[in-house]
């Protein structure tokens, strides 16, 4: 009798478990986003990952911000600003009605406190275990190397930045998520643990941190002390970690999540045809390219580089490996919607016959399957005349999916097939995994052709072309060494006005195309899918997908 009763109880429990949905509770208006990974740390100064920034952007603010759907910069915590003639001094007038989410005031002291913690390696809040990558990159280094030499408090709500030299991208840099202003009281209280799951962030934005369970979710709630207006009606944002891309997309279809970013072509096509989902497209600020490693002797011959370029059917890659109408063939390194773009550079030609002729002219009438590796100079630069190795010609494809290159393997196979038609036989390799790939790239060990790409951080061309080519002959850029291009980009960075800088970026891009120094393949739009119940939301080109605008019906 007891056994039968137990069995019955188990059956009833199972039936209830199967059919009974979770009890409905009085819930806030909630938007759920599905992310493929965890945030690293909720403190923009010490991270480089998009997931952390996306969360931070909902609740933290910088002095300036990117305005709406464009890459131009406008006021945020600073309500106005002005620079001197040579752009070495910038004065920011701060909003006076702002407090941090812990109730402490936002003022000039808070701005100086944050920047000093990032700049000075001796500052007690500048921790050895953390790397302030973007401060060093955008402002040239720390301590005395820093481009920002001083920040003066003019009054409680006015600060003045002094630079050691004119720096064109200054305002764009200050608008990024990396330089959001955090509560000095919280930074001091939590020290090295600030931004970790137990602490979260304390900023000035519309959503405050509530909870973070790693590998599960981050929860933010609308904060009623926000100084500005929240245009939408979302009261709670939940960022769910769903590591499997297929499961994440199924969760979107099942209505368990409202928003997912980075879609593959098939998923984008499904969303496009769906009645219940919306496809969001952000103007593309991404470039997919194929690089040459200049330790390969043969790649130092422009005819070989041009032949490889002529063999690439870029239009087919765009049509095959990107969702329809979300990418276009790249003529230059800078995307067409970024200032500095050169419209006069012709589209890359596809001409396999001409490629075969060029290869023959370069001394490879039978094609190319093996290549010679040149030795490095003592200072680590490229290259000596000596051939240190002969290796199979390798094409490295990216082992991760990125918006600018959603299917590295597929694109690699297509490129290999195109190259085989002109007699260039490549071995395909992906290095093993992404960490290995990046490590090989950093050390100049992607010895062959290699795929990579870039997405803009701040909308300034220095953060695009400048990052790659301003510094000639280094291992990370596979010993790219075209001094004329490097000089142009270095000069452009140091000029204060956009009108002065733009022609230099245009000229550098034209030279890059003429020399086939690096082969640009495609520019891609940013893609995301949104539930049909969410309205009034847009994808910003620089990743500021602000939930504050969203209206859930």
Partner 1 sequence: MTRYIARRILETIPVLIGASILVFMIVRLIPGGPETVLLGERASEENVARLRENLGLDRPLTEQYLIYVANVLRGDLGNSIAGNIPIAREFQQRFPATVELSVTALLISLIAIPLGMISAVRRGSWVDTLTMISALIGISMPIFWLGLLLLWIFGVQLHWLPFIGRLSNNMEIQTITGLNTIDALLTGNWAGFFDALRHLVLPAMTLSTIPIAITARITRSTMLEVLYMDYVRTARAKGLPEGTVIRRHALRNALLPVVTIFGLQIGSLLSGAVLTETIFSWPGIGRWLFNSIQGRDYPIVQSVTLIVTFIFVTVNLLIDLSYAWLNPRIRYE
Binding site for partner 1 (CB under 8 A): 13, 16-20, 22-25, 27, 30, 32, 37-41, 48-49, 128-131, 133, 136-137, 141, 192-193, 195-197, 213-217, 238, 240-244, 246-247, 250-251, 253-254, 256-257, 431-440, 442, 452, 454, 457, 467, 474-476
Query: Given the complex with partner 1, which of 193 and 536 has the nearer CB atom?
Result: 193
Q: CA nearest 401: which of 53, 51, 33, 36?
A: 36
Query: Given the complex with partner 1, which of 5 and 16 has the nearer CB atom?
Result: 16
User: Min. distance of Cβ 520 from partner 1 in angstroms?
Assistant: 17
Cα 511 to Cα 32, 139, 186, 333, 432: the distances in Å are: 46, 27, 49, 11, 34
Query: Given the complex with partner 1, which of 196 and 491 has the nearer CB atom?
Result: 196
DSSP for 375-408 reads: EEPTTS-EEEEEEEEEEE-EEE--SS-BTTBTTH
Query: Given the complex with partner 1, which of 298 and 407 has the nearer CB atom?
Result: 407
User: Min. distance of Cβ 272 from partner 1 in angstroms?
Assistant: 19
User: Min. distance of Cβ 351 from partner 1 in angstroms?
Assistant: 32
Ramachandran angles phi, psi of 204, nearest 5°: -115, 0
Query: Given the complex with partner 1, which of 160 and 476 has the nearer CB atom?
Result: 476
User: Min. distance of Cβ 22 from partner 1 in angstroms?
Assistant: 4
Element (H, E) at 181: none
Alpha-carbon radius of gyration of the chain? 26
Q: CA nearest 428: which of 448, 445, 443?
A: 448
User: Min. distance of Cβ 89 from partner 1 in angstroms?
Assistant: 27
Q: Max Cα separation, the chain?
A: 93
User: Min. distance of Cβ 143 from partner 1 in angstroms?
Assistant: 12
User: Min. distance of Cβ 332 from partner 1 in angstroms?
Assistant: 20
Cα 404 to Cα 51, 322, 345, 412, 529: the distances in Å are: 17, 9, 21, 14, 17
User: Residue 54: how many CA atoms within 13 Å on its side-chain side?
Assistant: 26
3-state helix, strand, coil in the chain (%, to 5): 35, 25, 40
User: Min. distance of Cβ 267 from partner 1 in angstroms?
Assistant: 14
Q: Under a CB-based contact definition with an 8 Å cutoff, are residues 480 and 333 in contact? A: no
Query: Given the complex with partner 1, which of 1 and 23 has the nearer CB atom?
Result: 23
Give the C-alpha separation, 341 to 463, whole Å: 13
Query: Given the complex with partner 1, which of 84 and 401 has the nearer CB atom?
Result: 401
Q: In the numeric block, which tokens belong to residue 255? A: 């209505």
- Strand 207-213 and strand 236-241: pairing? unpaired
User: Min. distance of Cβ 38 from partner 1 in angstroms?
Assistant: 8
Q: Under a CB-based contact definition with an 8 Å cutoff, are residues 131 and 195 in contact? A: no
- Strand 30-35 and strand 236-241: pairing? parallel
User: Min. distance of Cβ 535 from partner 1 in angstroms?
Assistant: 21
Please, which residues have CB within 8 angstroms of residue 136's CB and are 6 or more apart in sequence? 142
User: Min. distance of Cβ 67 from partner 1 in angstroms?
Assistant: 24
Query: Given the complex with partner 1, which of 451 and 506 has the nearer CB atom?
Result: 451
Query: Given the complex with partner 1, which of 1 and 22 has the nearer CB atom?
Result: 22
Cα 508 to Cα 67, 397, 436, 483: the distances in Å are: 28, 26, 31, 10
Please, which residues have CB within 8 angstroms of residue 397's CB and are 6 or more apart in sequence? 408, 409, 411, 412, 413, 428, 429, 430, 451
User: Min. distance of Cβ 173 from partner 1 in angstroms?
Assistant: 13
Cα separation of the two ends of the chain:
53
Query: Given the complex with partner 1, which of 211 and 349 has the nearer CB atom?
Result: 211
Query: Given the complex with partner 1, which of 251 and 488 has the nearer CB atom?
Result: 251
Give the C-alpha separation, 7 to 57, whole Å: 52
Strand partners, 522: 288, 329
Query: Given the complex with partner 1, which of 177 and 241 has the nearer CB atom?
Result: 241
Please, which residues have CB within 8 angstroms of residue 498's CB and are 6 or more apart in sequence? 168, 339
Count CB neighbours of 48 within 10 A: 14
Q: Under a CB-based contact definition with an 8 Å cutoff, are residues 516 and 309 in contact? A: yes
User: Min. distance of Cβ 141 from partner 1 in angstroms?
Assistant: 7
Q: Which of helix, strand or coil describes residue 286?
A: strand
Query: Given the complex with partner 1, which of 138 and 161 has the nearer CB atom?
Result: 138
Query: Given the complex with partner 1, which of 442 and 533 has the nearer CB atom?
Result: 442
User: Min. distance of Cβ 388 from partner 1 in angstroms?
Assistant: 20
């Amino acid at each position: 009798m007891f056994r039968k009763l137990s069995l019955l109880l188990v059956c009833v429990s199972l039936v209830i478990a199967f059919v009974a949905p979770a009890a409905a509770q009085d819930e806030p208006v909630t938007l759920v986003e599905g992310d493929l990974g965890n945030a690293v740390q909720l403190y923009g100064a010490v991270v480089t990952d998009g997931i952390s920034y996306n969360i931070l952007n909902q609740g933290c603010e910088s002095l300036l911000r990117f305005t709406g759907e464009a890459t131009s910069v406008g006021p945020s915590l600073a309500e106005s600003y002005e620079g001197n003639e040579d752009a070495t001094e910038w004065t920011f007038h701060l909003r006076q009605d702002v407090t941090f989410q812990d109730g402490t005031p936002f003022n000039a002291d808070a701005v100086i406190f944050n920047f000093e913690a990032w700049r000075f390696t001796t500052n007690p809040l500048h921790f050895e275990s953390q790397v302030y990558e973007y401060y060093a990159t955008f402002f040239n280094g720390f301590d005395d190397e820093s481009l920002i030499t001083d920040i003066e408090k003019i009054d409680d709500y006015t600060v003045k930045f002094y630079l050691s030299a004119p720096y064109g991208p200054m305002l764009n840099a200050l608008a990024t998520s990396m330089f959001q202003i955090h509560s000095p009281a919280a930074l001091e209280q939590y020290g090295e643990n600030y931004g970790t799951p137990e602490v979260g962030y304390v900023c000035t934005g519309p959503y405050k941190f509530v909870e973070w369970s790693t590998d599960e979710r981050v929860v933010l709630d609308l904060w009623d002390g926000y100084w500005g207006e929240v245009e939408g009606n979302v009261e709670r944002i939940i960022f769910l970690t769903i590591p499997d891309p297929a499961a994440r997309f199924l969760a979107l279809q099942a209505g368990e999540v409202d928003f997912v970013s980075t879609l593959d072509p098939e998923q984008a096509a499904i969303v496009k045809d769906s009645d219940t989902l919306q496809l969001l497209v952000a103007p593309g600020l991404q470039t997919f390219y194929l690089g040459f490693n200049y330790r390969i002797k043969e790649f130092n011959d422009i005819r070989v580089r041009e032949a490889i370029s002529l063999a690439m059917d870029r239009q087919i890659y765009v049509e095959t490996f990107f969702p329809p109408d979300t990418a276009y063939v790249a003529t230059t390194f800078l995307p067409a919607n970024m200032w500095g773009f050169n419209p006069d550079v012709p589209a890359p030609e596809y001409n396999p016959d001409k490629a075969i002729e060029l290869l023959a002219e370069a001394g490879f009438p039978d094609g190319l399957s093996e290549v010679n590796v040149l030795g490095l100079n003592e200072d680590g630069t490229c290259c000596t005349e000596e051939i240190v190795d002969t290796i199979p010609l390798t094409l490295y494809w990216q082992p991760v999916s990125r918006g600018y290159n959603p299917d590295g393997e597929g694109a690699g196979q297509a490129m290999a097939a195109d190259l085989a038609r002109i007699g260039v036989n490549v071995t395909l390799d992906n290095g093993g995994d992404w960490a290995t790939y990046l490590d090989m790239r950093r050390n100049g060990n992607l010895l062959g052709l290699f795929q990579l790409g870039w997405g803009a951080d701040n909308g300034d061309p220095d953060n695009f072309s400048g990052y790659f080519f301003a510094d000639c002959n280094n291992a990370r850029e596979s010993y790219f060494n075209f001094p004329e291009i490097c000089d142009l980009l270095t000069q452009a960075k140091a000029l204060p006005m956009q009108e002065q800088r733009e022609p230099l970026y245009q000229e550098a891009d034209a030279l890059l195309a003429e020399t086939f120094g690096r082969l640009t393949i495609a520019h891609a739009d940013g893609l995301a899918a949104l539930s049909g119940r969410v309205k009034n939301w847009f994808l910003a080109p620089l990743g500021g997908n602000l939930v504050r605008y969203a209206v859930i019906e």
